[in-house]
Each structure stands twice: as C-alpha cells, then as structure tokens.
Amino acid sequence: MKPFAYLRPGSVAEAVRVSAERPESHFLGGGTNLVDLMKLGVESPGLLIDVSRLPLDLVTPTDDGGLRIGATVRNSDLAAHPVVRERYPALSQALLAGASGQLRNAATTGGNLLQRTRCPYFQDTSKPCNKRAPGTGCPAREGAHRDLAVLGHSPDCVATQPSDMAVALAALDATVHLHGPEGERAVSATEFHRLPGDNPDQDTVIRPGELITEVVLPPPAEGAFSLYRKARDRASYAFALASVAAVLTVRDGRVAHAALAFGGLAHRPWRARAAEDVLRGAPATEETFARAADAELAAAEPLRDNGFKVALARNLAVGALAELTARADRSG
C-alpha cells in the first residue's frame, strides 16, 4: 500500500470541494472494498476523504410516502429498519444476502453502490485488465469467467457488478442523489451503473468530484409484494452467481405491475424491461413468468463456462414471481 493522506471533512460541501481540487483522492465510506483494493495495489489514492461521519446517516420518510436513505447509513442498520422490512422487503433481503455480518456493520449505502467487481483479473495487478489498466486487454474472456457476465458485456470487459443492494434498488425504482462541483442531480438506480462498452474503467455515471448523498425510494406500488433471491456457492458470504429482485402486483389473476432486476449477470443491475413488458397485463401464471424471463434472457451471450447462469436466472425469476403471486393470492 502506498502512503496516502486522510481527511475527515465537516460537510458535504467541503468533501465535494476537496474532491474536485484533488483528482487523486477517493471518498471513503466503510472501506470494506476500497481498503482491500488499496492493499492489492489496485487502487492507490493519494488522499482519502472519509465521508462516513458526514451527517448523512438518517432514514426518513419523504413527503410522498417514500423513503430517503442517507449515504452513510450502514447496511446492517438499513436492513433492520422497520419501514424497510415492512414496505421494501426486497431491499432488506438483498442487504442481508450480501457479505457477512461484520462487513454489513461497516459498509455504507453509498459505498455499497460503488463497490467494484470481484473479477479475479481486476484484482490481480500482475495481469492485464481493461477496467484496472485501460487498453491492456481482458484475459477473463478466455480465462476463468464462470462467475462473470452473460448480458451486456463487451469485447473489452466481462465483469459483473457485485452489489446485492443495487439490484433491489433497481427493481424498486430508487434514485441515487449526487452532490458535485456543478450542483445536485438525481440518477435512476437502474441507470446509475453503466455497461462496459469500450471504457470499462467507468463503473457508473458518476462524474469527477460527485458524492452520493442519499438514495430515495418512491412509495411502494399499491398492493405490491417484493422479494430478493440469490443463488451462491455457499450459504453465506459469497457473491451471487445470479440473483433476482422482483416486485409484483396481481389483480384479478393478472399482473397489474411488475418490476424485475437481475444481479450477477452484467456490469450493472439488469433491469428486465423486456420481461416486464411481457408480464404487464398478462395472466399471473408460471407460463407467463417463463415467457417473460425468456424474453429478457434471449439477449444473453454466455461465455464458455458461464452458460448455466442463463438457466439459473430464468429459474430464479420464475420462482420469485410464482412466490409473489402465491403471496398475493393468500392475502386476498
């Protein structure tokens, strides 16, 4: 690890100002990923701007019945928040499906969104990687890629976004609020992460100097149920081979509203718009759910060793939608 300076700013404005002045700086949240990457030599910031103690640690209702989540709210606190558990169960479940208890106690909402891929080549500075060192190549295409992308990848990068939380936020139509040198803006959680294209070093649409200040959830759709399901190699402390966040409202046996997002399949949480189009207004049956999943996954381009992810994602989606339908049936 190279020597670095450390600063704890007193306000968002100061954090943003210093960040803009010092391009070699990084914001530090819980540090559960950034510190690892510094130890590995993948990241070598000259300055860490510790934003974890900024007054962004509250979860508060919005005027329209949604929820405002401060960027420094810890993952474990957010997962346990009564409103999140009751009204946004997919989010609580996604958080609890991630990492380990110790990591969730440290990790923040903003930091979770900005964690980087666990692609083994990205994490190994002795090997090429277009994301870490643009222009050096992507050995994962031919190398070890069982865990990597099947959707939206490019010749330059087949990495996956590892966050569970981000998948739930995408399905829940959350917005990510940013504060930067040019002011404030909000980005849909679905659009916050980007596809790799020919510049995979950019994970997100965040601009230099911008700080995530909060994530805002709209009020849950009326009568909707939501859940998060994740498949992994061991029962805890493993990244998703594939995961799904699903939100579903069923009325009179038909899908009134559906939102679906996949994790573990792409460079960003994969909002399944094509599947949603099939679902909307269709009978809430397994046949519909399978057709919807297939419509979305038709775009998949699996690599040599990760074709299983397509079947896995399909099964997860159909299972999740069927479970939500059963719940809707039970509640009446």
Binding region for other proteins (CB under 8 A): 1-3, 41, 100, 118, 120, 126-127, 139, 142-144, 146, 231-238, 241, 305-306, 308, 311-312, 315-316, 318-319
Is the CB of 57 or the CB of 323 nearer to other proteins?
Answer: 323
Minimum distance, C-beta of residue 326 to other proteins, in the bound complex (Å): 11
The bridge status of strand 5-7 relative to strand 47-50 is parallel
- Per the DSSP assignment, residues forming a β-bridge with 259 are 247
- Per the DSSP assignment, residues forming a β-bridge with 175 are 188, 216
Minimum distance, C-beta of residue 230 to other proteins, in the bound complex (Å): 9
Q: Which of 175, 163, 168, 249 is nearest to 205 (CA)?
A: 175
Is the CB of 85 or the CB of 308 nearer to other proteins?
Answer: 308
- Per the DSSP assignment, residues forming a β-bridge with 319 are none
Is the CB of 35 or the CB of 205 nearer to other proteins?
Answer: 35
CA atoms within 13 A on the CB side of 158: 24
Is the CB of 104 or the CB of 179 nearer to other proteins?
Answer: 104
Contact 198, 154 (CB under 8 A): yes
Given strand 211-217, what is the order of strands in its sheet? 59-61, 67-70, 211-217, 175-180, 183-188
> What is the C-alpha R_g of the chain?
20
Is the CB of 127 or the CB of 185 nearer to other proteins?
Answer: 127
CA atoms within 13 A on the CB side of 126: 0
Minimum distance, C-beta of residue 306 to other proteins, in the bound complex (Å): 8
Q: Is the dihedral of CA 94, 161, 207, 53 positive or negative?
A: positive
Is the CB of 88 or the CB of 262 nearer to other proteins?
Answer: 262
Is the CB of 146 or the CB of 251 nearer to other proteins?
Answer: 146
Minimum distance, C-beta of residue 1 to other proteins, in the bound complex (Å): 6
Minimum distance, C-beta of residue 283 to other proteins, in the bound complex (Å): 21
Question: How far is 114 from 189, CA to CA, in rounded Å?
Answer: 12
Minimum distance, C-beta of residue 77 to other proteins, in the bound complex (Å): 21
Q: Is the dihedral of CA 146, 201, 174, 292 positive or negative?
A: negative
Q: Which two tokens stand for residue 183?
A: 């002011």
Is the CB of 11 or the CB of 100 nearer to other proteins?
Answer: 100
What are φ and ψ of residue 251, in 5° steps? -130, 130
Neighbours of 114 (CB within 10 A): 21
Minimum distance, C-beta of residue 241 to other proteins, in the bound complex (Å): 6
Minimum distance, C-beta of residue 229 to other proteins, in the bound complex (Å): 8
* 3-state secondary structure at position 103: helix
Is the CB of 142 or the CB of 252 nearer to other proteins?
Answer: 142
Q: Which of 162, 133, 330 is nearest to 237 (CA)?
A: 162
Minimum distance, C-beta of residue 291 to other proteins, in the bound complex (Å): 17
